[in-house]
Every structure is written in structure tokens, then in C-alpha cells.
Structure 1
Amino acid sequence: MTSSSDTPIARRAYASFADRYDAFAPGKPHNALYERPASLALVGDVAGLDLLDAGCGSGICSEKLAQAGARVRAFDVTPEMAAIASQRCAGLDIEIRVGDMTKPLDWLADQSVDGVLCALALDYVETLKPVFSEFHRVARPGGWLVFSMGHPMRDWADARSRGEKSYFETNRWGMHWGGFGEPNPYVESYRRPLGDILNGLVDTGWTLDRLVEPLPLPEMETVDPRHFAELSLAPAFICVRARK
């Protein structure tokens, strides 16, 4: 039997509120009016492409990619999330399974996808290089990787995520999230320096193409003025595109 300490931190957190996450995330301003548009803008036109949605959650991006004409293979480490994604994406050209990005993606052949999207999932991975390396293996020459994650300076500037560590150290931390209903779920993730992220890309064969520190969409000012003002001054996430 798998002990709690062996369970991936993303699975332990999201299994506890998968249904509530799916109810809120499609329209939650931080997602719908901030991170998701920035990430999908980096993805661009996907018609006719074979794509991997790594850490697909409840399938929100998988659905959008397939509706835009892509053939999508997707996975998530949380079975409850994968089940919701399968329901959301029923009838679309999407294959969804349970999978752990910290382990080999052995169901995917070398050079079998044109692009990889990994939205807000790498924060739950302690060591990035093996993940980037596996994404590089499955990507075709000229293919791309787009990912989003917590902005390193934002995470370090917050005493909750910094803890007693310096900016240059990776540390695991957790907090109770608001915005997804009650009870507030306790979610752990990793904070790390920017150099570890970008050097991890380069060291595994990727070429950095674009780094975006997104601004919220203008309509967020109406629906969530407090966070619109906050995100207009300093970013919460980074969105990155790399090419093989």
C-alpha cells in the first residue's frame, strides 16, 4: 500500500477538492483572465497538430486544444482529475489517462508529438530536469514546449513560500487556498529560483523561445478589481515557450 509520504503532493491535494476545482477553475479570474490566456497565446494555432497536455487537471485546456483542431493526449497524476477530464472531453479527439510526469512517459513514443503544454503543474515537481528531458524525448524536431508556473520572484517575496530559505534554494511549502469553496484545501508546492528553471530547459536540449510575465486581461478589472490591481503591478506566474 502506498503511504501518504509516497503520494505525489499534487495528487494528495487535488484529490481532496477535484470537483470543486472543476466548478471554479473554468471561470476563476486568475485562471480564465490571467494565466490561461497567456499560455494559450504562446501555444498559438494547433489545428492538425499532435499535442500532449501534461498535468491536464480537469481537462480545461485539453478541451480547448481539441476544439481548435488538435489531436490531444493528456494525463494527470490525480485519478479524480483525470476522470473529470474524461467527462469534459467526451466526444473530442482526446486520449486521457492517469500518469506521473516525474516518471517515464513510457506510453509515448520518441518524437510522437508536435507540442507539449504543461500549465501550472511543474510547481508540484521537485526536480525539473528529468521532466524537461522526457518532454524533449517525445517532441518532434521543431516542436515546442509551453509551460506556466509560479513566478520565482513572487514566490520568494512572499514570506509564506520563502520560509527560512534564500532565493537560491528550492523549498517545499504549503498553504490553504481560498477561491475554491469550503473547506479551504491545503496545497503544497515547490518554490525555486529562475535559473534552475531556465538552465534546466537548456541542459535538456530545449532552446528558450519566449518568456512572458503576463498581465491580466482588461475585463478582470470588473470581476476582480483587487487582484487586477495586484497583478497589474507584479506578476504571479511566468509562461515560457521553448523549442526543440
Structure 2
Amino acid sequence: MHCRSKVLYGMLTTALGIALTACGGNGDGGGLEAGAPQESAAESGSGSGSGKASPAVKAEWSPALAMGQPAPGLYETQVSGGGKFQVTATKIVKGTPKQLKDGHYIDADRTLEGGTPYFVYVTYTLKEGKPSVVNSDLNSHAVILDENGEKAAERPVVHTGYVEGGCPVGQIYLGWDVGETRTRCSIYIAKAGSPQPARLAWNLNATTADDYKKGVSWGWTTTQ
């Protein structure tokens, strides 16, 4: 009985060893050696062995348009309720602290004290369709960005810009005709210490700095 027990035990051990080898154990099948540490996905990387993920590559700016140069393509905005427009940034006028004061912007928001106003003019030409919203805020898609694609100035809640030397009082229209061109002016304010603006972008769907960089933008040029 004792010998039988040893034989049976030996057979079980041999069978277990064969099973481990077939499953990638420490046999000659090329599996991991016993006790060898397994490399995690985070540590494996892409051959560098550093264990650090590669930094995300930031988007480069698309070529800048010149002021007065139309953006390529046509754009249909939700705020207009239809119609396809050609969009052209025509000029940016750099304002003064006095205009902020005279327009009561600082009274409404003390964080704007010491800021710089910019009056942004964008022209829209209806090329196709019929907008259902006649006097829509088409400039709501325009943004002022720094070199990194982040916003360098914001439109205040009250953003008419109707001050002396600023935006003219906007006209009230009764409808749009195909081929008709209108210019919209909006005020943007860069707070004191804000980064230097680099682009004026116009984008319907951008949500990140990279989105804006890949889209349509005009090189930053101001007049006094």
C-alpha cells in the first residue's frame, strides 16, 4: 500500500507539471519563468521603458487669414434659424479704459477695472437659404484667443459696445435677402493681466483650444 501511494502521488505530480507547461508555466514553451515580475501596461510604454505616458501632442494653428479675407466655405448657424453665410472679420478696434467707464462696464463688473476693450467687426453675407431669426447675434461664434488657443478676452453680459468711438448702434432689420451683407460689431474685454491676443477665431462647434486652432481664424491686427 505504501508503494502504491508513492506511485499514485508521482503520477499526479507529473500530470500537474504537464498542465502547467501547456498553460505557459516554467517549461520550455516560452512562458514566464517562475517568480518573474509581470510588466503592467502602464510600465510597458512604447519601447521606452520609462513607465511614463507620452505627452499629448497639441494642435498647431491653422494658417491665419488676413483681416478682410473671407473664411473658406459657408456657415449655417443655429442662432440665425437657417441660411448659409460667408463670414469675414473686417477689423478690430482697440478701445480705452475711458470707454469701459463711460459704458458702465466696470460698474457692472469690478473685475474689469484696468481692462482693455476691443471692438470686433465681422461681416456676414447671406449666400443661401432664408434665416428665420432676422436680427440674430451672429458674433456669438467669434472669440479672441491667445497663442495657446485659450480665450484672451470675453464678451460681457451686456455686450453692445455702444459708446463713443466704439460699436455703432446696430440697425434693426425686417428680413434677409440672398446676397445681402451686414456687419456686426461686438465688444470684448481683456482683463488686466490677460495674455496677449493672437487670433480672432470664428467657430460654430469648437469646445477646446485645439478645436479653435484647427478652425478658421484671423491674425491679430488692431486699429486705434
Q: TM-score range by the shorter chain?
A: under 0.3
- Report the structure, 1 or 2, having the larger helix content: 1
TM-score by structure 1 length?
0.22
TM-score by structure 2 length?
0.24
Larger Rg: 2
